[in-house]
Structure formats: C-alpha cells, structure tokens
Amino acid sequence: MTQSTDSNAPQKTAIAPVILLHPDDNILVCVKQFHPGDEITIDGETLLSDIDIAVGHKIARINLRPGDKVYRYGAPIGSMTQAVAKGEHVHMHNMKSDYIPSHTRSRQHKDRSDA
Amino acid sequence: MSQAVSFSGWQRADGRKGIRNVIVVAYLVECAHHVTRKIVNHVNDMDVHLIGFPGCYPNQYAYDMMRAVCTHPNVGGALLVSLGCESMNREKLLSDILASGRPAELLVIQEEGGTKSTIELGIAAVKRLQSEAAAVARVPMQLNELIVGTICGGSDGTSGISANPAVGRCFDALVAADAICIFEETGELIGCETIMADRAVTPELGAEIEACVAKAEHYYRVMGFGSFAPGNADGGLTTLEEKSMGAYSKSGSSPISGLIKPGDIPPAGGLYLLDVVPDGEPRFGFPNISDNAEIIELIACGSHVILFTTGRGSVVGSAISPVIKICANPETYRRLAGDMDVNAGRILEGEATLDQVGEEILQNVIAVAAGKRSVSEELGHQEFILTYKAFEPIGPSCLPVRQIQ
C-alpha cells in the first residue's frame, strides 16, 4: 500500500473520486474509477479503499445496517439487506428495491435453471 | 435564450411544421418487409426511411401509431407496401395520409406480380413522392412550434448526475420559450410518483399521474421484471427506484401540464408526461421491449427531435425524427465518441457545469432543427419498432391546459 507521504506517489487528481448528491444521502457516488489502496475522503475522514469501484457505483457514507433505507438525491432508492461499513461498496449484494426486484444476467440464468 | 430563434421548416396542411422532409416506406406486415427494405436500399437516400408493423392480426394501437407517424410533420410522403392478406386497413391508412395533404401510394404485392415487380414499382413510386415532397413550401419556424421528446437508454450510475439533469436544464429553457417537451416513461418513474404529482398544474392531473405510475408498477409486477437491464447494474444502478430518480431529472423543474398517451399531440407549450404502459390487464408482453419502441411513441406524439441520454453507451437513432445523443459517463464517451453529440461526462470531471451542458444541448436542438444532421442521423441510424399494445383514451383531467383554453 502506498504511503500518502511518498513523494514518488502519482499526482492525486484535483477531482474528488466520490460525490455527495444531497445532504441527506447516506451513500456517495464514484465519479472516477478507484482501486484497492486508493484514498477516499468521506466527510473529512480519509479511508483506504480495499476494493475496485467503477464510475457510477455507490459507497456507504456511514455504517449501514440491514433494513436501513438508502438515500440518493435525498430520496429513498431501496433498503439494505446486509450490514456495510462506511466506505464499502453498496450494490446488489447488500441492497434491494422496495418496489420490484432487479434482475441481472446471472440471476436470470439461475432462475431458468432453478425452474 | 429567446423566442427570436428562428429556422426554416416545411409547412404541412394541418398547420404543423416539420424540420425534415422524409419519405417513409412502410411494410404493413412482416411478409412485406423484405420487398420494402429492397425498395429503401435501392433508393439509398438519407431521407427515405423504412418503417413498418410486423403483425398480421388487427390492433387499433398499431393502426393509430402508423397513421400518426405517416402524418408526422417531418414526413413529406408515404409509400405503403402490403402483402395483401394482412388485417391492417391499408385503404383507410392511405386515405388518412392523403387527407393530411401528403402524397401517398399503396402497393399490394399479391396484386402487383410479386417481389421483383413490386420492388421496381416501389422504386418508381418513391421517386414520384420525392419530387412531390420537394415542392412543399419552407417557412420560418420558431422554438414555440417545436416538440422535443426525451428518453434515456443504457443508463448507469452517472446518468442521473450529469446527462439527465443537463437535459432537464435544456427542457426548462425550451418550456420557458413555450416549446412542447415530452418525457416518459412511467415504468421508469416508479418511486417518483408523489414528487411528480406535486408538480402537476392541477390536483386532478396529479392524481392521474399517481394512478398511471401505479398501473405501470402492476404491469411490470405481472411481467416479473422491472424496466431494469443487466447493464444498468453493471453501471452501478442497484434498484428500479434508483434508476427512476435519475431518469426523472430529465424532466427539469417546470410544472407538468398534461399526461398523454402514444399518438396524442400536446395542445400547447409546456411539459408533458407520456404514459407508454398499456391499459387493462397485461396482454401483449413488455410495454417497452427496447428504447426505440418508446422513441417512436414520442415521435407519434409529434416530437421533431429526440434527446437521448446514455451512460453505458447506446448507439441508436430513429426513423422520422433525428436523435441527439448525450453521453453521461466520461469513460463511455472516450470509448464511443463517434456516436455521441454531447459529452455530459465533462460535468463529472469538473470541466463543465450542468448549466453549460444544458445550454450546449439546447444549441444542438436548435442546430438540428435548422437542418444540421445529428451524429446518429449522419451515421444512418433509422431504427423503428412497433408492436402490439392496447390503450384507452386519456381522461378529461389529463389535459387541463386544453380545458382552460
């Protein structure tokens, strides 16, 4: 893991890799691909990422528990199914719709073979 | 932005004006598709478009859609190609198009001697239609005579942050100039119904909007899937309501003036919601089998231009009305720059503001209305799809603007 004091470290981009869309949100949206070892700053606290996150994906702004509503644009976009810690990836493995289940290529395939 | 913006359009007999002068060549059943395609391919003109309906069995929606698109202000003439035994009422369609003041011809393959002779007759017919359409007068046209539709396709987690709200800014400017703006679709607005209802110009319209989103939710529940593709999840979207909130931002912040269904032409300037989910018990499968099904419904409501936002990177265009592509994701833009008109991903990289990109989209709308080819149009994209659906007419609360007038 690169020390943040290392003078040979690549220049940090001027753009924050994550953005907060609404003050009430409990997730942040990644606007730049980041990798394990990259730093993310959340509400003034700097964390080290241990995962790959692609542009457009979400990370937890605070620790979240199962059943917690997830807020984006200040509006509820679903509920947590698993606990996640601040800075972790929030996606289909730990969150679900409060309306209609989402499908993926693999889930669709699994449904067919289950049938 | 001012209403002084003027360009030249084609004057149609019904009072509407077009920004293109397209000849449509339409198959009235799949059995006539090959012959029709051969005619269009032989003519090989960017303004001669292949459209059609594949079904043999009757469907009022399909008829109404064919009539709406063949009499669209961007259309200067129509050639209908029938096999001969399908149910589409070809004589009525022909007479409806002729009654709209456009040249139109009909070829019935079974009566014209088959494939080869129908292709030859069709090529000659298109040449006649082109010369008649070329004689239509061009007149000054203003922004308040323009109808602009919007759709998102291949959405990802960036769509709702960059391209969609930038289209919303453009819509706000167009509505302020008294243009008609149309957004859709209710299946991708599940979760936004109460916020949307609050923007309706009357409480009765608000109630209609909530009811139509509830209808969409029921319909998709029966289908077993929401309007959510695997690529949406790859791009970081997790739930339908998350996708909805992002899609919703295309509508901007103007009041919602009405709720329309495919083929309804909005009566006055303002923002309208298009309900694309069929009425009654689900019968014919998915309401929107792919983006072009919705694009052609926006066009059937009179849209001259379509604003298409994409995160994952759609490449489609459309028959009849040009499609302007606005890319939300800067990485997608770098991969597919040759398919995009506007790079809204610059917003995420700190190189442009939402207002700047909104203005750039507006300037693209004006340029394309004035005749500039959009990127997908230049590439020859003319996708068209029309399938079975069923709709009831809209209720009296859906267009309060019309009642006020």
CA distance B303 to B321: 7
Contact check, Cβ <8 Å, A77/B238: yes
Contact check, Cβ <8 Å, B161/A19: yes
Same domain flag for B102 and B196: no
Q: Is the pLDDT of residue A8 over 50?
A: no
Contact check, Cβ <8 Å, A55/B330: yes
Asked whether residue B128 is domain-assigned, the answer is yes
> Which pLDDT tens digit goes with each residue over B169-186?
999 999 999 999 999 978
What's the CATH code of the domain at B45? Answer: 3.40.50.2300
Contact check, Cβ <8 Å, B329/A33: no
**Model pLDDT, residue A17:** 85
Same domain flag for B99 and B158: no
Domains of chain A, earliest start first: 18-114 (2.30.130.110)
Distances B198 to B130, B195, B230 between C-alpha atoms, Å: 48, 5, 32
Same domain flag for B243 and B95: no
Which residues numbered 203-232 in B keep a CB inside 8 Å of some CB on A?
217, 220-221, 225-226, 228, 230, 232
Q: Is the pLDDT of residue A6 over 80?
A: no
What residues form DSSP beta bridges with B181? B148, B271
The conformational region for residue B108 under phi > 0 = left, psi -120 to 50 = alpha, else beta, is beta
Asked whether residue B172 is domain-assigned, the answer is yes
Asked whether residue B316 is domain-assigned, the answer is yes
The closest alpha carbon to B73, from B25, B136, B124, belongs to B136
> Which pLDDT tens digit goes with each residue over A52-93?
899 999 999 999 999 999 999 888 999 999 999 999 999 999
**Model pLDDT, residue A94:** 96
Quote the distance between the C-alpha of residue B265 and its chain's center: 12
Asked whether residue B8 is domain-assigned, the answer is no
Instruction: With residue A48 as reference, give the H or E element that holds it.
Output: strand A45-48
The closest alpha carbon to A107, from B315, B366, B230, B317, belongs to B230
Higher pLDDT, B194 or B322: B322
Nearest residue, CB atoms, B242 vs list A14, A77, A108: A77
Nearest residue, CB atoms, A77 vs list B239, B329, B349: B239
The closest alpha carbon to B310, from B277, B295, B332, belongs to B332
Distances B141 to A29, B69, B293, B367 between C-alpha atoms, Å: 42, 20, 28, 13
- Chain A residues whose CB is inside 8 A of the B191 CB are 75-77, 98-99
B286 CA to chain A: closest CA distance, Å? 15
Given a contact cutoff of 8 angstroms between Cβ atoms, the answer to whether A34 and A44 are in contact is no
Q: Is A13 on the interface with B (CB under 8 A)?
A: no
pTM above 0.80, yes or no: yes
Give yes or no for a cis peptide into B185 (omega within 30° of 0): yes
Mean pLDDT on B9-22: 97
- Chain A residues whose CB is inside 8 A of the B230 CB are 103-105, 108
Same domain flag for B394 and B308: yes
Domain range enclosing B42: 22-135
Same domain flag for B275 and B375: yes
> Which pLDDT tens digit goes with each residue over B300-335?
999 999 999 999 999 999 999 999 999 999 999 999
CA distance B72 to B300: 7
What residues form DSSP beta bridges with B50? B25
**Model pLDDT, residue B402:** 59
Higher pLDDT, B47 or B221: B47
Asked whether residue B26 is domain-assigned, the answer is yes
pLDDT band with cut points at 50, 70 and 90 for residue A15: low
CA distance B132 to B126: 10
Same domain flag for B190 and B332: yes
The three-state (H, E, C) secondary structure of chain B, written as one string: CCCCCEEEEEECCCCCEECCCEEEEEECCHHHHHHHHHHHHHHCCCCEEEEECCCCCCCHHHHHHHHHHHCCCCEEEEEEEECCCCCCCHHHHHHHHHHCCCCEEEEEHHHHCCHHHHHHHHHHHHHHHHHHHHCCCEEEEEHHHCEEEEEECCCCCCCCCCHHHHHHHHHHHHHHCCCEEEECCHHHCCCCHHHHHHCECCHHHHHHHHHHHHHHHHHHHHHCCCCCCHHHHHCCCCCHHHHHHHHHHHHCCCCEEEEECCCCCCCCCEEEEECCCCCCCCCCCCCCCCHHHHHHHHHHCCCCEEEEEECCCCCCCCCCCCEEEEECCHHHHHHCHHHCCEEHHHHCCCCCCHHHHHHHHHHHHHHHHCCCCCHHHHCCCCCCCCCCCCCCCCCHHHCHHHHHC
Nearest residue, CB atoms, B241 vs list A19, A57, A98: A98
Which residue, of B106, B135, B164, is where some domain finishes?
B135
Given a contact cutoff of 8 angstroms between Cβ atoms, the answer to whether B47 and B148 are in contact is no
> Which pLDDT tens digit goes with each residue over B258-296?
999 999 999 999 999 999 999 999 999 888 889 999 999
Nearest residue, CB atoms, A55 vs list B158, B239, B245: B158
Same domain flag for B65 and B84: yes
Q: Is the pLDDT of residue A5 over 60?
A: no
Q: What is the overall mean pLDDT for chain A? A: 80
Contact check, Cβ <8 Å, A33/B225: no
Cα R_g (chain B), whole angstroms: 20
Same domain flag for B177 and B325: yes
Contact check, Cβ <8 Å, A30/B191: no
CA distance B31 to A89: 51
Which residue, of B94, B118, B135, is where some domain finishes?
B135
> Which pLDDT tens digit goes with each residue over B199-247?
999 999 999 999 999 999 899 888 887 778 888 999 999 998 899 888 9
Joined tokens for residue A50: 């241990």
Asked whether residue B110 is domain-assigned, the answer is yes
Q: Name the residue in chain A with its Cα closest to that of B218.
A: A100
Which residue, of B135, B160, B179, is where some domain finishes?
B135
Q: Name the residue in chain B with its Cα closest to that of A108.
A: B230
Joined tokens for residue B176: 């302020």
CB pairs under 8 A between A and B: 116
Nearest residue, CB atoms, B233 vs list A77, A90, A102: A102
pLDDT band with cut points at 50, 70 and 90 for residue A115: very low
The conformational region for residue B302 under phi > 0 = left, psi -120 to 50 = alpha, else beta, is left
**Model pLDDT, residue B354:** 93
Q: Is A33 on the interface with B (CB under 8 A)?
A: yes
Cα R_g (chain A), whole angstroms: 16
Same domain flag for B30 and B121: yes
Same domain flag for B93 and B199: no
Nearest residue, CB atoms, B245 vs list A58, A77, A96: A77
Same domain flag for B164 and B128: no
Number of domains forming the structure of chain B: 2
Asked whether residue B405 is domain-assigned, the answer is no
Same domain flag for B116 and B170: no
